[in-house]
Structure formats: C-alpha cells, structure tokens
C-alpha cells in the first residue's frame, strides 16, 4: 500500500478543503459532538428493537445510502478518477469495510450481551491507547509528552466514570469487545494511510455500504434477513435518526483524519462521552455525582491535546499546515 499512498499524495487526491483548515482538530471536535449525540440517541433507539445486530445492520445501511447519495449529488473529482494508484488500493478498501463497518459491530454487540457495562465502556475507550501505539509504529507519528499526559487523563477519567473496573474476572464478553476495539484501531491506521490517495467521502461510503453488505451476509447466515422487512413506523423513525447521525459522524471523522494526526483526532473524539453525559442528565435525569470528576479529567485531556496540536500547527510553515498529519 505504501507505493500507491505515495502516488496518491502526489496526485493530490485528498480533499482540498481539509488542507485549508487553520486548526484541523475543529473537524474532530465537531465529530466528537456528533458522536456524543449519536451514543445518546442509540441508547434510546436500541430499546425499540429485539435484535441489536438487525438494528445495527439497518442503521449502518441507512448511513451508507445517505453518504452514497451525498457523494453522487456533490461529487468529489478525485473519486471519479480510476487511477492506477487508486486501483491498487481496492483490496484495502475491502479491509476498511470488513474491519471498520462490519465485524467489529458484531463482536461488540455479542460481547456487550455478556460483559458488564462498566468493563465494556472502559475497554472501548482504550481505543486511543491502541491508535497511539499503532500511529507511532505504523504511521511514524510523533508521540509528544503532551500526548502521554492527555492519554493518561483520558484513561483515568474513564476509570472514574466507570466506577472502577473489574477486569480480573474478564471472560468471553470482554474479549470480544477488546477484539472489536482493536479492529477499529487498525481501521484508523489503514484509513489514515488510504486518505492520501482516496478522498475521505469516498472512504466513508466504502466503510458503511461495504460493511453493511457484510452484515447483511451475516444476517442471511443466521436466517434473520427477513427481520429487516418487518420494521414498524416507529422503528423506521429511529433508524432514520440514528443512521443519519452515524453518516454525519463517519464523514466528519474521516475528514478529521485526513487533516490531522491519528493520535490527536482519536483523543479529541473521546470528548463525545462528555456530550453523552450532559444529554443523559438533561433529558433522562441521570444524576451527576463522582462521574463529574472523571468527565473533567477527560475534558482536561482533550484540552491538552488541542493546545499541543495548535502549538505544533502554528510552528509549521504556512504551506505545510494541515497536511502534517498525512502519513509519510
């Protein structure tokens, strides 16, 4: 993939709008906001469905269709160019669909059915640790002292929010959730590489539509494909709400990855947990107790990352800004 990625950089296939950001993490911040809303809405929506995998498949398919329609309505010139560099990345597009938009969802929901909710939430939030490790090794991103401080704050914050963790008794459920989290971390690294040759919006469509195709196959194997035709009007409303939110999140997330280092983007996305907590308090009356300390730690970690990124961005020559996060 490295040769095609390098060729992709010379061809300028990355969306030009990503390169014009004065502070690339603004996109990640908006993605975190959307993510927080999405988690809150999903928590309400999933209660209206008997099978979480059927719900996830329909939701992901809805998101993929929205992204595809948007791409056709407002096409990206680079997405229409069947260059040899892009053709050589096609196998990796399949990887993105499978490990980003399909398999992890099945693993996560299967694990969530048997794991404790606190352990599940904590394991999923370790995504930033795995992405940071992979970004240093694979993408050769620089791990600054500010990153270490921020990651520590993010992890400690989520331990507090979770009320402590009991991984000593971890079993099959926790293992499945960890496997899903690791796959999503690998997805970040693969997407980061591909983004120098393939536009973010194109990758978003591949992730959601391709992943949905895999999930549809899984439902067919289970004999549950027919369940997709039996939704009520109310369930369709929830699918529209969650699918549209998911489409917005994936689009923003991939655009943020195209403009900034993977470590920074993933760390900022953790702030979505704070948004979800605020919504739970405001709309569901969930009390804020010791959790507030944990969320403050999370916000502190995000602020550290943002400040460090802003300083690094300001120190770069004007022509190099916003492209520093691209893999070399």
Taking 60 as the threshold, does the pLDDT of residue 305 lie above it?
Answer: yes
pLDDT of residue 174: 82
Q: Are 54 and 224 in contact (CB under 8 A)?
A: yes
- Average pLDDT for the chain: 81
Q: Which of 70-79, 264-273, 302-311 has the highest mean pLDDT?
A: 264-273
What's the distance, CA 175 to chain centroid? 20
Residues 85 and 93: their CA atoms lie apart, in Å, by 13
Higher pLDDT, 87 or 319: 87
Q: Which of 45-59, 147-161, 227-241 has the highest mean pLDDT?
A: 227-241
pLDDT in tens, 180-221: 999 999 999 999 999 988 899 999 999 999 999 999 999 999
DSSP state of 241: H
pLDDT of residue 164: 59
Taking 60 as the threshold, does the pLDDT of residue 84 lie above it?
Answer: no
Question: What DSSP assignment string belongs to 42-97?
Answer: HHHHGGG-S-HHHHHHHHHHHHHHHHHHHHHHS--GGGG---HHHHTTHHHHHHHH
pLDDT of residue 179: 94
pLDDT of residue 287: 67
Residues 127 and 134: their CA atoms lie apart, in Å, by 11
Residue 255's pLDDT band (boundaries 50, 70, 90)?
very high
pLDDT in tens, 90-125: 899 999 999 999 999 888 877 877 776 566 777 888
Buried b (16+ CB within 10 A) or exposed e, 148-165: eebbebbbbbbbbbbeeb
Q: Which two tokens stand for residue 176?
A: 């499945």
Furthest CA-CA distance within the chain: 57
Residues 161 and 89: their CA atoms lie apart, in Å, by 40
pLDDT of residue 12: 39
CB burial class (10 A; 0-12, 13-18, 19+) of residue 224? Answer: middle
Q: What are phi and psi of 131, to 5 degrees?
A: -65, -45
Q: Are 216 and 225 in contact (CB under 8 A)?
A: yes
CB burial class (10 A; 0-12, 13-18, 19+) of residue 119? Answer: buried
Q: Averaged over 48-75, what is the pLDDT?
A: 92
pLDDT of residue 163: 63
Residues 240 and 223: their CA atoms lie apart, in Å, by 24
Q: Averaged over 270-284, what is the pLDDT?
A: 79
Q: Are 262 and 81 in contact (CB under 8 A)?
A: no
Domain map (residue ranges) of the chain: 22-312
C-beta neighbour count of 46 within 10 angstroms: 16
Taking 50 as the threshold, does the pLDDT of residue 303 lie above it?
Answer: yes
pLDDT of residue 111: 81
pLDDT of residue 192: 95
Return the SS3 of 287.
Answer: coil
C-beta neighbour count of 83 within 10 angstroms: 15
C-alpha closest to that of 309 among 274, 272, 259, 273: 259
């Amino acid at each position: 993939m490295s040769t095609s990625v390098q060729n992709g950089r010379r061809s300028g296939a990355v969306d030009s709008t990503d390169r014009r950001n004065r502070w690339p993490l603004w996109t990640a911040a908006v993605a975190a906001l959307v993510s927080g809303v999405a988690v809150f809405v999903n928590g309400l929506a999933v209660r209206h469905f008997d099978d979480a995998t059927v719900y996830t498949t329909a939701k992901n398919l809805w998101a993929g269709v929205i992204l595809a329609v948007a791409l056709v309505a407002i096409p990206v010139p680079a997405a229409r160019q069947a260059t040899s560099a892009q053709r050589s990345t096609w196998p990796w597009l399949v990887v993105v669909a499978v490990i980003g938009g399909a398999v992890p969802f099945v693993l996560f929901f299967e694990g969530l059915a048997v794991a404790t909710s606190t352990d599940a939430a904590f394991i999923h939030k370790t995504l930033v640790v795995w992405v940071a490790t992979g970004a240093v090794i694979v993408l050769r991103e620089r791990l600054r002292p500010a990153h270490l401080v921020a990651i520590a704050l993010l992890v400690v914050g989520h331990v507090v929010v979770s009320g402590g963790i009991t991984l000593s008794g971890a079993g099959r459920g926790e293992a499945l959730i960890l496997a899903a989290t690791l796959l999503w971390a690998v997805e970040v690294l693969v997407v980061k590489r591909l983004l120098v040759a393939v536009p973010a919006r194109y990758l978003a469509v591949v992730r959601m539509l391709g992943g949905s195709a895999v999930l549809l196959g899984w439902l067919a194997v289970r004999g549950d494909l027919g369940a997709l035709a039996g939704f009520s009007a109310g369930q369709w409303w929830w699918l529209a709400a969650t699918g549209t939110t998911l489409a917005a999140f994936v689009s923003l997330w991939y655009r943020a990855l195209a403009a900034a280092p993977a470590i920074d983007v993933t760390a900022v996305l953790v702030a979505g947990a704070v948004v979800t907590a605020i919504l739970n308090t405001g709309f569901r009356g969930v009390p804020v107790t010791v959790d507030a300390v944990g969320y403050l730690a999370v916000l502190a970690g995000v602020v550290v990352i943002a400040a460090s990124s802003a300083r690094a961005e300001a120190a770069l020559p004007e022509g190099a800004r916003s492209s520093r996060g691209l893999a070399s």
